[in-house]
C-alpha cells in the first residue's frame, strides 16, 4: 500500500467522522451536547483540511500517483 493510498484512506475516514459529528449535533436536543458535537466537528474539519493538504503535497511530489486516482 502506497503512502498516497494510506493518506487517501485516512482522509476518507476523517471525513466520515466529521460527517457523523455534524449529524449528531443536528440530531441531539441537549444544548450542551449539541455544542460539544459542533466543536468536535469543527476540530475534525481542521484535521480533514490538514490531511487534504498533505495528500495534495504527495501528489505534487509524486506525479505518477495523480494518474492512479
How far apart CA 61 and CA 46 sit, in angstroms, is: 23
The whole-number pLDDT of residue 64 equals: 72
pLDDT block averages, 10 residues each, the chain of length 69: 90 98 98 98 98 93 67
The whole-number pLDDT of residue 2 equals: 86
Determine contact, residues 4/62, Cβ cutoff 8 Å: yes
Of 16, 4, 18, 15, the C-alpha closest to 55 is: 4
Taking the model in full, what pTM does it have?
Answer: 0.85
Amino acid at each position: 500500500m502506497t503512502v498516497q493510498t494510506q493518506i487517501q484512506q485516512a482522509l476518507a475516514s476523517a471525513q466520515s467522522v466529521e460527517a457523523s459529528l455534524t449529524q449528531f449535533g443536528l440530531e441531539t436536543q441537549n444544548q450542551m451536547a449539541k455544542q460539544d458535537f459542533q466543536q468536535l466537528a469543527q476540530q475534525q474539519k481542521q484535521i480533514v483540511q490538514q490531511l487534504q493538504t498533505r495528500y495534495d503535497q504527495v501528489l505534487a511530489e509524486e506525479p505518477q500517483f495523480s494518474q492512479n486516482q
